[in-house]
A and B are shown apart, each in its own frame.
Chain A
Amino acid sequence: MTGAATPNSSVATLRERFGASIGRSTVVLGATIVVVERSRAHDVFAWLRDDPDQRYDYLVDLTAVEYRDRERPLEVVYQLRSLPRNAVLRVKIELDASGPLEVDSVVDLWQGANWLEREVWDMFGVRFAGHPDLRRILMWETYDEGHPLRKDFPLRGRFSRAEQVRRALGADLAAHYSMDELSIAEAYAALPAAMRAGLAREAGSGKSEAGA
């Protein structure tokens, strides 16, 4: 089944190599979990992928967890798998929910992280430094109610139904294209000035809010 009852041997090697950057490690229901310090995380992932004894070449999943207990940090969770060794390892980065939510992107290591990191940004408001295209993915680009999977986000959304309908009806049709796409079509310059200003404002507000 998933992992063995004993901790994954990668953890001991990680500790040898990265010392204090490697936090506590536990075995939960047969799976090894290791916490890594945020500033060294990218180096740790690069080493886990490239070291000939590790070869975690496959990123299974990348997600985040926020606990109901506000004292516990928000976790960014990486499920790694080595296809040649058929081994799995769960790596976590802990972030203080009151501080800046930012970790280094791993898209340069695993392309599969591209959409997964966009989803974590969209749903949790964690920014990934160095991501090539960090836009919302499941919600639309001008969505400004925050990040839905955060625990302080109400199940039915921040706005009343009436307000949501009002915003949907008042939505700018051009906003369904990204700035990138509008520039390919050379259509941006052709938009009315008011629409351009609104688009720039909405795109700006969507990107600047961190952990709203």
Chain B
Amino acid sequence: MAEKRVLELALATPGVDEAGNVLRVPLVSADHTAQEPELDSDHMLINIGPQHPATHGVLRLVVELDGEVVMRVIPHIGYLHSGFEKLGEYRHYNQIIPLTDRTDYLSAPANNIGFALAAERLMGIEITPRCTVLRVIACELSRIISHLVWAGTTGIDIGAFTVFLWMFQERERAYNLLEAWTGARMTTSLTRVGGLMADVPDGWTDRLREWARHLPQTLDEVDRMLLRNGIWLGRTQDVGVMTAAEATNWSLTGPMLRASGVPFDVRKDQPYLDYDAYDFEVPVGEHGDVYDRYLVRMEEMRQSVRIILQALDRLPDGPINADDARVILPPKRKAMSDMESMIHHFKQVMEGVPAPAGEVYFPVENPKGELGTYLVSDGTAKPVRWRIRPPAFLNLAALPKMAEGHLLSDLIAINASVDIVMGEIDR
């Protein structure tokens, strides 16, 4: 046992005693008899999180370090596990939609839409043209919001505080739009099976157009701050590299997969809604490092702006809900005045809407990657299985591979580049 050392911590603003000596506060009192860990052994085990700002929620990383070099990362997840998939087996299809808000809570509208599309495929429901275009707008709006948060928090993890402020300012504007539409900023519960919970309010499309036209200016300013910034380049280039083959084999998804040079985007390759009718590009990186992930996400925001502007131009008038009495509630006025409608309303709310026996896997391109909704029905009003294919879960699973051999500070940058959201990873 090495000779006992007394650990001392200098005060943040050191005080001075009468003799002029700097005051120190002992962390471990000199007569403490407990054994101290040996700090001179080869490898050190460091615990980061679950309460740590750089872990973006409640991720816990146990890191084996050789000096400052990461030898191994062992992620521990599950601190936010809420049993959504189990809960879903006890709920009607429309009752599951509020649960989807709480999975990837940074892009709730996109999750709502992913689930509604899967349920509609299962029940064989066609949604209206206006609903389709509004859903595209909501998807792209949530993609922009999610990427704004990503760029802001990644900036702050690497030391770029300004980016965080600019990005969050834009995010507030986008949330104001969502709030005007749905009444909520984050837990939007935007969709219903067969339609939407509400149409957009008057004048909303003009506000969105105004915001979408100005967003690229902020993105350009952020690019001016970072794109050729020496510190940013040093912290991000060749850090956390995944080759295209590795990214495929590790089932990386979304911007992580595309930054490695694999041009797969569900919107292009298995189009849903009416994405095949829009003119937009899918940005693809080539180095698969943190820098390329930044480039890909920044360009995706610009492409989302393009899609939103096209969608606003083509937004048709008409109903937002499918004309399908199985799933759509009768208008409130009829339900309160007409006996048949009231019974219909009551039965639909109390008994739910049965889905035919069968199963569907419906992928959508969420901001984090491919969100898959796998629904299995046995013909009742509640699914037998509601499986979320969580994109951030699969991206995070590759973190140990990406971080090994890098410095501890690079681990923070790599972890930030994954764009995790624990609500979805832990579900």
Listed in ascending order, the chain A residues whose CB lies under 8 Å from chain B are 1-2, 28-29, 31, 33, 57-61, 63, 65-69, 77, 79, 83, 86, 88, 90, 110-116, 123, 136-140, 148-149, 153, 155, 176-178, 180-181, 184-187, 190
Contact = CB atoms under 8 A, between A and B. Distances in A.
Interface stretch (B177-185, B214-222, B247-255, B292-300): B247-255
B35 interface: yes
B250 A63 contact: no
B330 to A, nearest CB: 28
Given A60-B370, A178-B74, A65 B376 contact: yes
B121 interface: yes
Given A83-B262, A139-B81, A60 B389 contact: yes
B397 A115 contact: yes
Contact of B361 (A59, A79, A153, A186): A79
Given A28-B358, A115-B393, A184-B64, A59 B251 contact: yes
A79 B362 CA distance: 11
A63 B387 contact: yes
Q: Is the interface of B mostly helix, strand, loop or mixed?
A: mixed
Given A61-B372, A61-B374, A138-B81, 18 more contacts: A1-B272, A2-B362, A57-B249, A58-B248, A63-B387, A79-B389, A86-B270, A88-B270, A111-B249, A112-B249, A112-B251, A112-B394, A115-B393, A116-B394, A138-B426, A138-B427, A180-B74, A184-B64
A135 to B, nearest CB: 10
Given A60-B389, A149-B86, A181-B74, A190 B35 contact: yes
A138 B77 contact: yes
B359 A1 contact: no
Contacts of B360: 28-29, 31
Given A115-B393, A115-B394, A148 B86 contact: yes
Contact of B378 (A60, A69, A111, A187): A69
A186 B41 CA distance: 9
21 contacts: A28-B358, A31-B360, A31-B361, A58-B248, A58-B264, A59-B251, A60-B363, A63-B385, A65-B376, A65-B385, A66-B384, A79-B389, A90-B361, A110-B250, A112-B249, A112-B397, A138-B78, A138-B427, A149-B85, A149-B86, A186-B41
Given A111-B249, A140-B78, A68 B85 contact: no
A65 to B, nearest CB: 5
Contacts of B45: 181, 184-185, 187
Contacts of A77: 374
B77 A137 contact: yes
Given A57-B248, A149-B86, A139 B78 contact: yes
B372 A60 contact: yes
Q: Is the interface of A mostly helix, strand, loop or mixed?
A: loop
B87 A155 contact: yes
B406 interface: no
Contacts of B35: 190
A86 B45 CA distance: 43
A114 B361 contact: no
A190 B34 CA distance: 11
A77 to B, nearest CB: 7
Nearest to A77: B374
Given A1-B272, A57-B248, A139-B78, A114 B389 contact: no
Interface in B351-406: 358-363, 370, 372, 374, 376, 378, 384-385, 387, 389, 393-394, 397-398, 401
A44 to B, nearest CB: 18
Interface residues of B, number: 56
Interface string B236-271: 000000000010111110000000001010000111
A148 B251 CA distance: 25
B204 interface: no
Contacts of A148: 83, 86
Nearest to B50: A176
Nearest to B397: A115
Contacts of A187: 37, 45
A67 B264 CA distance: 33
A126 B363 CA distance: 25
B90 interface: yes
Contacts of A186: 38, 41
B43 A184 contact: yes
B28 interface: no
Contacts of A79: 361, 372, 374, 389
A111 B270 contact: no
Contacts of A177: 62
A77 B262 CA distance: 25
Contacts of B90: 155
Contacts of A149: 85-86
Nearest to A69: B378
Contact of A28 (B270, B359, B393, B427): B359
A31 B77 CA distance: 32
A66 B89 CA distance: 11
A110 B248 CA distance: 8
Nearest to A183: B45
B241 to A, nearest CB: 15
A156 to B, nearest CB: 10
